[in-house]
Amino acid sequence: MAEADIDDLIEIIEKESNIEDIPKILPMMPVRDVVVFTDMLLPLFVGREKSIKAVEETVEYDRYIFLSAQKDSELEKPTAKDVYAVGTVGRIQKMIKLPDGRIKALVQGIAKAKILEYVKKRTFFKVRIEFLTDVDPVELSIENEALMRNVKEASEKLLALKGEFSGDVGDLLSHIESPGKLADLVASNLNLKVEDAQILLEITEGTERLKKVNDLLARELDLSTVQAKIQIDVKDEISKNQRDYYLREQVKAIHRELGENDEKLAEIEEFKEKIKKCKMPHDCEKESQKQLKRLEQMHSDSSEASVVRTYLDCIVDLPWSKATKDFLDIPKSQEVLDANHFGLDKVKERILEYLSVRKLNPQKKGQIICFVGPPGVGKTSLGQAIAKAMKRKFHRLSLGGIRDEAEIRGHRRTYIGSMPGRILQGLRQCGTNNPVFMLDEIDKLGNDFRGDPSSALLEALDPEQNFEFSDHYLNMPFDLSNVLFILTANMSDTIPSALLDRMEVIRISGYTRQEKKVIAQKHLLPRKLKDNGLIRRSIHVSSAAMELIIAEYTLEAGVRGLERKLDAICRKIARQIADGKKGKFSITRQNLTKYLGPPQYLTELDQEESQVGLATGLAWTEVGGEQLYIEVSLYQGKGELLVTGQIGDVMQESARAALTYTKANADNFGINKEDIDNNDIHIHVPAGAIPKDGPSAGIAMATALISAFTGRKVNNKVGMTGEISLRGRVLPIGGLKEKALGALRAGIDHVIIPEKNKKDLYDMPKVIKNKMKFTCVSDIREVLDIALEEKSNKENSDEEKPDKKRADN
């Protein structure tokens, strides 16, 4: 430490803080297990809700905060009586918000103060304070000088015992001339109990406080002396172990002279042979030989030798040059894909294209493919099918919930129990450097103070740089360019953009009912019969029963729920066979309830007939598309809008935009403006326990609103999706294929979509196009012409009667 630095530090300690500038009302934060002294600089981790709010409030008070110790550090929610009245006014020098919501703050003690009253207690503590002034003698007496010298010498002895003493520390202590400042400096660096430290803080007379510190320092010095003696005894024991090691080495030398086999030499030779067989790059082989030489010079039983041995085991087990030969027969590969998966033509076509390019150019760098789709559509099993088609090894790594970067890149070898990352461990298990490596649930990666795993994946998943992938444990480059990485996700929104940019995203939508039926008959049912020990010829599930299971017992984009229903049927049949019942079991529409109970998903009542103020929208979820009902009711009021159904901000804005458009164009729709002004409007989206958001329900809300004001029913067989602008334009949306599948499952045969989504119909499966009518619109008026039914004569006459009566009167 330079002389200038010491002078600056002494100046900070000796100067008196200008307490006149500090507010008398400050936010207060209780602290646990520590008492903050004046001029003390310490980091604080703030995690409690009240404390976080208090720290955030300091912005209004020039970053000043009152810090007082808790009487009981175990209390999570302390009250005013649980906190000491005397504390320290601190100033936050630096503040960092951590990913988990906590705050890390660097605080410096400024002045001692006492709580006069609590101004605020509910959301956080705010207190009125009174500053306490330390009283130091004007001139130091001989007794005080002797006391200060004794404290300084004892502090230097204590630091010397702990191995922390230096000349700079001695200079710092010698320059302090105030008993109070010296007492605070020494006390803040002693490992004191909270009760003892609080007693010191509350003593305002500097000499008395220094006497108390002197007593505590003497006790700490005695404890450290005993501790140092114990360490010397341990050192003597270690010296004895070294002597024993020397004798053991002599015994081994005697064994070698006698011609007996040396296990260590055999182990070294084995490693040399394995390193040679690995055929690793020159720099890696050089590093391996260096580590092997270190191992040769160590004692076999030392902890460091164990670390090096484990590291060398990892190196020689990695498949540096081992690779399987690709099977690139395209027709055969197509047969394998078709045998394992029904449908998914676009996905299969992309995989066959990859294999074709690989056949023509084996040196082409592997692309990163990401399958995005709802659960149960076969994303993971597709990866297995690709590995089977190419005759490569397959390894699956689930990323769901991983928060530690070391899971991907490994731990440094300096840590006890360190190991390579999950990618290199997977290659080590496969035994080849070109497997099909599936990273499952990439959208569910987390991050916290241990790092961001998604950032660690950037290098591994970039074909331009993964030929030199660096693992922290291996600490040498490993070539991942031959690995075929396949990723899966339920939704791409939560994948970091930098990571998403490195992938080719292939979206997999849900299955239609007809596709589910074929999948169930060809794949799911035979598998479940085998799993439950049943014979295929003794069980028959009729086509009508299978359709009923799909329509009324499952409601999903994939087939996982359907598989569970078939498993339930097989279990009940297995129970009957185990009880001795014989014969052929036939599952039909009539006896299906015997096996699965009553239907679980029935057509909603709202869909049975067209109604006023009820429109059918379409929603996208990460498990597929669903219908979304929009209900509008009017009641006497002042024209206020109420929106319910646990919907987000964007959807609420769509409701307000739809209402504004309706008001602005009331004359065009034959709506009496007095009806708008004299009625409150309640828009409700059922299934209120499920959060909903997004702009695509805009035209459905506008249709339901205009239906409610005009009294015209909304056609229940028409679904609609699209964002609405204030001028009535219908704007494009996303997830059209998933929404169309959801509408088809719900029995909707006519869907209104934005004109700008017409391009999405190109990739729409033919089975959907054949069963559904798609109408592209660009203005809300076109939507109303299609969706709103004309009033019947009865409805018109009912409305005319009151008018006639008013005219007669």
- CATH number assigned to the domain comprising residue 479: 3.40.50.300
**Would you say residue 79 lies in a domain?**
yes
Are 538 and 499 part of one and the same domain? no
Are 732 and 660 part of one and the same domain? yes
Q: What is the pLDDT of residue 729?
A: 92
Which of residues 726 and 345 earns the better pLDDT score?
726
Residue numbers annotated as active site: 696, 739
Separation in Å, CA 803 to CA 273, 612, 798, 808: 103, 21, 10, 9
Q: What is the pLDDT of residue 801?
A: 43
Q: What tokens does 776 get?
A: 């592209």
Are 496 and 430 part of one and the same domain? yes
Percent of the residues in the chain that have a pLDDT greater than 90, as a whole number: 10
Are 704 and 640 part of one and the same domain? yes
Are 360 and 467 part of one and the same domain? yes
pTM of the model: 0.58
Q: 21-35, 116-130, 585-599, 786-800: lowest mean pLDDT where?
A: 786-800
CA dist 597 and 575 (Å) reads 16
Q: What is the pLDDT of residue 703?
A: 92
Q: What is the pLDDT of residue 257?
A: 67
Are 623 and 574 part of one and the same domain? no
Which of residues 145 and 721 earns the better pLDDT score?
721
Nearest to 114 by CA among 13, 20, 209, 24: 24
| Mean pLDDT, rounded, for 680-704 | 85
Are 351 and 474 part of one and the same domain? yes
**Would you say residue 194 lies in a domain?**
no
Are 784 and 655 part of one and the same domain? yes
Q: What is the pLDDT of residue 806?
A: 34
| Mean pLDDT, rounded, for 380-392 | 86
Q: What are phi and psi of 333, to 5 degrees?
A: -65, -40
**Would you say residue 431 lies in a domain?**
yes
**Would you say residue 617 lies in a domain?**
yes
pLDDT tens per residue, range 347-359: 888 888 888 888 8
pLDDT tens per residue, range 499-537: 888 888 888 877 777 788 888 888 888 888 888 888 888
- CA angle 343-344-349, nearest 5°? 115
Neighbours of 122 (CB within 10 A): 7
| Mean pLDDT, rounded, for 600-614 | 69
| Mean pLDDT, rounded, for 149-158 | 78
The residue from 507, 526, 556 where one domain ends is 507
pLDDT at 227 over 60: yes
The residue from 561, 596, 631 where one domain ends is 596
CA dist 296 and 289 (Å) reads 10
pLDDT tens per residue, range 568-583: 989 888 888 888 888 7
We report the CATH number of the domain holding residue 657 as 3.30.230.10
**Where is the binding site for ATP, in residues?**
373-380
Which of residues 488 and 222 earns the better pLDDT score?
488
| Mean pLDDT, rounded, for 200-220 | 83
| Mean pLDDT, rounded, for 686-714 | 86
Are 418 and 300 part of one and the same domain? no
pLDDT tens per residue, range 426-462: 898 888 988 989 988 888 887 766 677 888 888 888 8
We report the CATH number of the domain holding residue 9 as 2.30.130.40
Nearest to 539 by CA among 589, 588, 584: 584
Confidence label for 656 from pLDDT (cuts 50, 70 and 90):
very high
Q: What is the mean pLDDT of the chain?
A: 82
pLDDT at 682 over 90: yes
Q: What is the pLDDT of residue 2?
A: 43
Place of tokens 């108390």: 212
The residue from 65, 99, 131 where one domain ends is 131
We report the CATH number of the domain holding residue 575 as 1.10.8.60
Are 679 and 563 part of one and the same domain? no
Looking at residue 572, its amino acid is K
Q: What is the pLDDT of residue 304?
A: 81
pLDDT at 539 over 60: yes
Q: What is the pLDDT of residue 730?
A: 92
129 in Cβ contact with 66 (< 8 Å): yes
**Would you say residue 215 lies in a domain?**
no
Looking at residue 189, its amino acid is N
CA dist 304 and 298 (Å) reads 8
Are 572 and 480 part of one and the same domain? no
**Where is the binding site, in residues?**
373-380
User: What is the residue range of 111's domain?
Assistant: 3-131
| Mean pLDDT, rounded, for 106-127 | 89
Confidence label for 622 from pLDDT (cuts 50, 70 and 90):
low
410 in Cβ contact with 367 (< 8 Å): no
CA dist 618 and 610 (Å) reads 17
**Would you say residue 209 lies in a domain?**
no
Q: What is the pLDDT of residue 84?
A: 92
Are 345 and 476 part of one and the same domain? yes
**Would you say residue 170 lies in a domain?**
no
pLDDT at 803 over 70: no
Burial class, 508, CB count within 10 angstroms (exposed 0-12 / middle 13-18 / buried 19+) = buried
| Mean pLDDT, rounded, for 259-270 | 70
Max mean pLDDT range (29-33, 326-330, 381-385, 742-746): 29-33
Which of residues 264 and 636 earns the better pLDDT score?
636
**Would you say residue 141 lies in a domain?**
no
452 in Cβ contact with 465 (< 8 Å): no
Count of domains in the chain?
A: 5
| Mean pLDDT, rounded, for 784-792 | 83
pLDDT at 155 over 90: no
| Mean pLDDT, rounded, for 339-345 | 79
Q: What is the pLDDT of residue 808?
A: 33
Q: What tokens does 178 get?
A: 């105030």
pLDDT tens per residue, range 47-78: 888 888 988 888 888 889 999 999 888 888 88
Which of residues 300 and 215 earns the better pLDDT score?
215
